[in-house]
Amino acid sequence: MRIATWNVNSITARLPRLLAWLESSGTDVLCVQETKCTEEQFPAAELRELGYESAVHATGRWNGVALVSRVGLEDVVRGLPGGPDYGGLQEPRAISATCGPARLWSVYVPNGREVAHDHYDYKLRWLEALSVAVTVDAAAGRPFAVLGDFNIAPSDDDVWDPSFFEGMTHVTPTERAALEGLRKRGLADVVPRPLKYEHPFTYWDYRQLCFPKNRGMRIDLVYGNEPFTKVVKDSYVDREERKGKGASDHAPVVVDLDM
Residues 201 and 114: their CA atoms lie apart, in Å, by 22
Whether 194 has a pLDDT exceeding 70, the answer reads: no
Q: pLDDT tens across 89-130, in order?
A: 999 999 999 999 999 999 999 999 999 999 999 999 999 999
> Phi, psi (5° rounding) for residue 42?
-65, 135
* Reported pTM: 0.96
Whether 249 has a pLDDT exceeding 80, the answer reads: yes
Label residue 197 by pLDDT band (50, 70, 90): low
> Once rounded to an integer, what is the mean pLDDT over residues 192-217?
83
Q: Which residue range is the domain that position 244 belongs to?
A: 2-257
> Once rounded to an integer, what is the mean pLDDT over residues 208-216?
95
CATH code of the domain covering residue 118: 3.60.10.10
Label residue 193 by pLDDT band (50, 70, 90): low
Q: pLDDT tens across 51-87, in order?
A: 999 999 999 888 999 999 999 999 999 999 999 999 9
- Paired residues of 74 in beta bridges: 98
Q: Which of 66, 63, 97, 93 is nearest to 80 (CA)?
A: 93
State the pLDDT at residue 81.
96
Q: Please state the domain count of the chain.
A: 1
